[in-house]
């Protein structure tokens, strides 16, 4: 059987005006038995979509803050830099994935953007809007546990990893505020933030706020997430 091809959204380097990639995203996909392909972010939207048509799934990675304009809110002072080109192209990719019923996995920024594209909103900066004392922006090593999440027993994520409490790494300062339409929360942090979601009307659209690409070599739950995503690709 031919290996599945996973389209990976690259990160953007403002200083070098170029795309770049953390190897963990690629390695996680390869370890799950698929072929990762970095999309040409600087190209025209239709060209990127043409490449995506040849792929079996979409991995939405971390990176810049989602522009508040996408959820019709003014930018707060603590909101980080956005990448308008990435917002635009990634929106088109997500919409095409839904239309083609291609599996999607969102990580960090990925969960935030999926929520926004489904009509939800974000905390633009947790320290100033939701300061709970929980460490959401950890320092290395990123294989360590930053905090715990509570996994809902009636969720597909629980069916996969068979635990109600999971230690996760964490490196973000934005998070889901109002949940988007047709989304369901699968895991919640100790301070009440949505940490894992799924699309209720798609075969496989999952997203997590933590970073399985950093710890999948040592964390069975992170490996299982990548493997389930790749396994959903037809």
The active-site residue out of 172, 211, 227, 233 is: 211
Q: Is 211 a catalytic residue?
A: yes
Asked if the peptide bond before residue 92 counts as cis, ω within 30 degrees of 0, the response is: no
Q: Which residues touch 149 (CB under 8 Å, ≥6 apart)?
A: 165, 166, 168, 187, 188, 189, 190, 195, 196, 210
The whole-angstrom separation of Cα 5 and Cα 227 is 13
Q: Is the dihedral of CA 115, 120, 126, 130 positive or negative?
A: negative
The whole-angstrom separation of Cα 68 and Cα 36 is 30
Burial class (CB in 10 A: 0-12, 13-18, 19+), 206: buried
* 136's tokens: 């959401």
Q: Is 108 a catalytic residue?
A: yes
Q: Is 125 helix (H, G, I), strand (E, B) or coil?
A: coil
* 215's tokens: 């710890």
The active-site residue out of 90, 195, 213, 227 is: 213
Q: Is 213 a catalytic residue?
A: yes
The active-site residue out of 108, 136, 147, 227 is: 108
Question: Which positions are catalytic?
Answer: 108, 211, 213
């Amino acid at each position: 059987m031919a290996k599945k091809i996973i389209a990976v959204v690259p990160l953007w380097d403002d200083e070098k005006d170029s795309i770049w990639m953390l190897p963990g995203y690629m390695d996680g996909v390869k370890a799950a038995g698929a072929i990762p392909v970095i999309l040409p972010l600087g190209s025209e939207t239709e060209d990127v979509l043409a490449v995506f048509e040849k792929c079996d799934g979409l991995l939405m990675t971390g990176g810049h803050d989602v522009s508040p304009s996408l959820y019709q809110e003014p930018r707060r002072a603590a909101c980080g830099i956005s990448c308008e080109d990435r917002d635009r192209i990634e929106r088109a990719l997500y919409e095409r994935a839904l239309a083609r019923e291609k599996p999607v996995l969102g990580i960090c920024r990925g969960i935030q953007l999926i929520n926004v594209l489904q009509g939800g909103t974000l905390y633009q900066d947790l320290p100033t809007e939701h300061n709970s004392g929980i460490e959401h922006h950890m320092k290395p090593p990123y294989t360590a546990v930053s905090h715990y999440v509570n996994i809902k027993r009636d969720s597909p994520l629980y069916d996969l990893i068979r635990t109600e409490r999971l230690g996760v790494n964490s490196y973000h300062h934005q998070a889901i505020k109002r949940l988007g339409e047709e989304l369901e929360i699968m895991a919640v942090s100790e301070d009440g933030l949505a940490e894992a979601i799924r699309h209720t009307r798609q075969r496989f659209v999952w997203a997590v706020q933590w970073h399985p690409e950093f710890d999948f070599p040592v964390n069975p739950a992170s490996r299982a997430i990548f493997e389930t995503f790749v396994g959903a690709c037809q």
